[in-house]
Amino acid sequence: MRSPRTTVAVLVATAAMLLGGGTGVAAARPAAPSAAPSGVTSAVSSAASAAAPAAVGVCSSTALAGGSVQGALAPAQVQRQLSSLTAQHRAQYGIADKGPLGTDSSAGAGAGAGAGAGSTAVRPLVSIHPAQGTAFKSQSGADGSCATQSVSTQLTVRNSATTIYTPTMYPPGGSCVELVTVYTTSVRSVSAWDWCRSVSFAASVPINSSFLSTYTNGSGAYTGRVVRTSAASNTWTAALYNYAAGRWDTLFTQSGTNQSGRTDGWDIEELYSATGSSGRAYSCDDMAGLTFESSNISVRNNGTWSVATSANSDTHYDQPNSAFYCPTRSYQMLSTYDHWKAVG
């Protein structure tokens, strides 16, 4: 969610997602029984990079969708887990005020407990919102994007000021859907953000052992795409490639008018965090030693897929490394502009 861009009853969740006057289609399927937590550590490794040619083929695959993403949450669960992030992302487009960033954990055990006798005052935080990666140019006929994106079962967010979207992909062409890899203090998920109706997270699947075995092919990375399926209604569908079954599984579908007014796109590392008294971002410690990567980045124009190159992409969302407030972090555009990698 870029700024140049961040269960209760079913009826309650549905009402909460009708902010724009309609709902999308988020498919939910009962999760398969999970085995013990996977040993897959960080994001994409050399194994994922080695699978690059196959993944490019998957992006352009015409294999019919097989149904819903396995393990996807019910709408009420999505609302409960991710609704707290809504205001932060809407604010980037003036849709709503930015929500609270949280408290500085170094202020003491009483921080964030509220005013009252014996409570510790909450110190304001310096918020950051950096990004680096591939930016898709706004082009006539743009109607989709696809990439193989890393996931991590070891990333643990410890401070409520931090939300990590790495990688997050939004196709050019006024898409209704963004496909986001989400990490918060309580969530690891691949989720769909609705840009046309609710302007909030509308579908989500947890990153767990079942997800890894179904959607990563043992590589530590999933292949996702978002494509326009109807120009007349501006309908867009986010899907994940099911390596176990050899098909595309639908996560979310939405139609309407994009409320951000944006026609370009991105496949980037993006995060929200804050700096402690040392000047180091909390996200820096959370992500230390982990690799985050997006490869086989492709865009679709009038139904034809192409690898991301200077003809359709650039880096106009990039900020300098210093914007991450993380001196140990490294970043490389390994292949312009279809493969980037960040460590830490």
SS (H, E, C) the chain: CCCCCCCCCHHHHHHHCCCCCCCCEECCCCCCCCCCCCCCCCCCCHHHHHCHHHHHHHHCCCCCEEEECCCCCCHHHHHHHHHHHHHHHHHHHCCCCCCCCCCCHHHCCCCCCCCCCCCCCCCCCEEECCEEEEEECCCCCEEEEEEEEECCCCCCCCCCCCEEEEEEEECCCCCCEEEEEEECCCCEEEEEEECCCCCEEEEEEECCHHHHHHHCCCCCEEEEEEEEEECCCCEEEEEEEECCCCEEEEEEEEECCCCCCCCCEEEEEEEEEEECCCCCEHHHHHHCCCEEEEEEEEEEECCEEEECCCCCEECCCCCCHHHHCCCCCEEEEEECCCEEEEEC
The answer to whether residue 223 scores a pLDDT higher than 60 is yes
For the segment 91-110, the average pLDDT, to the nearest whole number, is 38
The answer to whether residue 167 scores a pLDDT higher than 50 is yes
Query: pLDDT by residue (tens digit) across 273-282?
Result: 999 888 999 9
What's the pLDDT score for residue 117?
Answer: 36
What's the pLDDT score for residue 91?
Answer: 66
For the segment 294-310, the average pLDDT, to the nearest whole number, is 96
Please tell me which residue, 114 or 58, carries the higher pLDDT value: 58
For the segment 102-108, the average pLDDT, to the nearest whole number, is 33
| pLDDT > 90 fraction of the chain, expressed in percent and rounded | 65
